[in-house]
């Protein structure tokens, strides 16, 4: 009777091990494709109409922004596509022009984006610029070390919008997809 008590669990364990096991395939990891997306703000600029009125000449704003997103080889070598999104609002009484120049480390212009917007009232201008297979070359972004923003007043320096807190606002964000394989 003691032998039967021991023999039954042993036989049951052997049958369970043989009947429910399958050869494991650890090569499945090679077939796994991971493509995470990363999103970040690039810049936010706000220029009040009162500031624009105090500056003589066309150019009321000019600034270089450091852009070192692709300094890390891990990121730069794995980027497959990306989108830069721009949102431009103009509640001033002035038509404006904004130029973005993408510069390499030698300050050579790789690419440009131009925006022209009428005086208020206008709708918010939203522009998505794709990079990668569905858009511009990723090399433009990979080799960019600086973005130069130049804003020009195409109107006068005395008028004032009747809207509350008249200003020009430019927002920009970037979303890039990586391949980790």
5 found inside a domain: no
Q: What does the alpha-carbon distance between residue 41 and residue 55 come to, in Å, rounded to a whole number? A: 28
Looking at per-residue pLDDT, the higher value among 60 and 150 belongs to 150
Residue 92 is assigned to a structural domain of this protein: yes
Residue 1 lies in a domain: no
* Structure tokens, 35: 């493509």
Question: Does the residue 166 lie in any domain?
Answer: yes
Task: Give me the mean pLDDT over the 135-155 stretch.
Answer: 92
Rounded mean pLDDT, 117-130: 93
Torsion-angle region of 124 (φ positive above 0: left; ψ -120 to 50: alpha; else: beta) = beta
The pLDDT assigned to 14 comes to 65
- Better pLDDT: 12 or 94: 94
The verdict on residue 13 lying in a domain is no
Is 148 inside any structural domain? yes
Cite the beta strand spans of 54-180 per DSSP E. Answer: 59-66, 79-90, 96-103, 109-117, 125-132, 146-153, 167-178
Per the structure, the complete domain to which residue 162 belongs is given by 34-178
pLDDT single digits (tens) 51-110 = 898 887 788 889 999 988 888 887 778 888 999 999 999 999 999 999 999 999 999 999
CA distance 117 to 88: 8
Query: Confidence class of residue 15 from pLDDT cuts 50, 70 and 90?
Result: low
Tokens of 100: 């973005």
Flag whether 29 is in a domain: no
Which pLDDT belongs to residue 107? 94
Looking at the DSSP assignment, which residues form a beta bridge with residue 82?
Answer: 131, 176
CA distances to 99, 103, 127 from 109, in Å: 12, 5, 20
Residues 26-52 have pLDDT tens digits of 666 566 677 788 888 888 999 999 989
The CATH number given to whatever domain includes residue 140 is: 2.60.120.1540
Total domain count for the chain?
1
> Which of 100, 84, 68, 72 lies closest to 176 in space, CA to CA?
84
Q: How far is CA 131 from CA 68, 98, 136, in A?
A: 17, 21, 5
Q: Report if residue 90 sits inside a domain.
A: yes
CB 135 within 8 A of CB 114: no
pLDDT-derived band at 12, boundaries 50, 70, 90: low
């Amino acid at each position: 009777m003691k032998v039967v008590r021991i023999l039954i669990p042993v036989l049951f364990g052997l049958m369970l091990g043989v009947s429910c096991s399958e050869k494991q395939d650890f090569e499945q990891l090679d077939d796994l494709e991971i493509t995470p997306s990363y999103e970040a703000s690039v810049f936010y600029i706000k220029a009040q109409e009162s500031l624009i009125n105090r500056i003589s000449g066309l150019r009321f704003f000019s600034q270089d922004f450091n852009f070192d997103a692709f300094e890390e080889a891990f990121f730069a070598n794995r980027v497959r596509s990306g989108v830069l999104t721009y949102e431009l609002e103009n509640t001033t009484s002035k038509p404006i022009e904004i130029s973005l120049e993408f510069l390499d480390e030698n300050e050579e212009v790789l690419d440009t984006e131009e925006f022209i917007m009428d005086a208020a009232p206008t709708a918010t201008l939203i522009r998505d610029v794709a990079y990668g297979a569905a858009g511009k070359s990723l090399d433009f972004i990979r080799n960019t070390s600086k973005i130069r923003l130049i804003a020009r007043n195409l109107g006068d320096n005395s008028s004032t919008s009747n809207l509350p807190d008249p200003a020009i606002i430019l927002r920009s964000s970037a979303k890039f997809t990586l391949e980790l394989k």
